[in-house]
Structure 1
């Protein structure tokens, strides 16, 4: 089986806008990571950057289920003894509304050079306005959950 190499000039890279208002955090992150990697394209190759650009708006209105708003914690550590800081989802959403979505999408991308490059194609905004109207992004609707 031959390895497929798609030239960057041969693939068309689109811009998508995802409205995160009243959507679940994980569902938005899954779809954004899928679009960023290019898994929706027939010429997908896991070692190439052929994905699209994703703009997420209304990040401050994203929701989580159950008691995750108070129980889901975000941690950071400066490297010094006793400097582990934790913050709940609610507080993080008030302080940095873009961070929970960025953190979730980053966790779904590869942990290497390619993943870091793909993450630069993600733009997250707290409000409904974004400065990428010149790229004429398409509105992407998240498919509903299939009940079994």
Structure 2
């Protein structure tokens, strides 16, 4: 079952429960997924669906972070939306898993002791392997810790 179907079913449940805030959040997520599908002119793959969900999470987090402290209404709405969106987001890789992938890339490239100069070459091979599965900042930080 596609993520669109799962979100639509959750939205119907929210409507039946008369949970307006959850229904609105799910409606926005469903709209983003459908728009991505329309732009592609084909059904989305699981990775593409996850990318759309992560993009919505990132945008909502920015809204939350940019809202002035005295605008609690905006912050509360964004926090509620984030909670709903995270239910549909895939689990991100943790530092240990990222480290294992980095070690695999280092072996693939034949690099025993990575240096800062090797970082670009490593990232070029590494990022496609963790795209959509791990936060880019965490991957970068993990690699930076290994090159010290």
Pick the TM interval, shorter chain: under 0.3
Name whichever structure is richer in strand by fraction. Answer: 1
Structure with higher Rg: it is 2
TM-score calculated relative to the size of structure 2: 0.23
TM-score calculated relative to the size of structure 1: 0.23
Name whichever structure is richer in helix by fraction. Answer: 2
Q: Which has the higher contact order (CA 8 A, sep 6+)?
A: 1
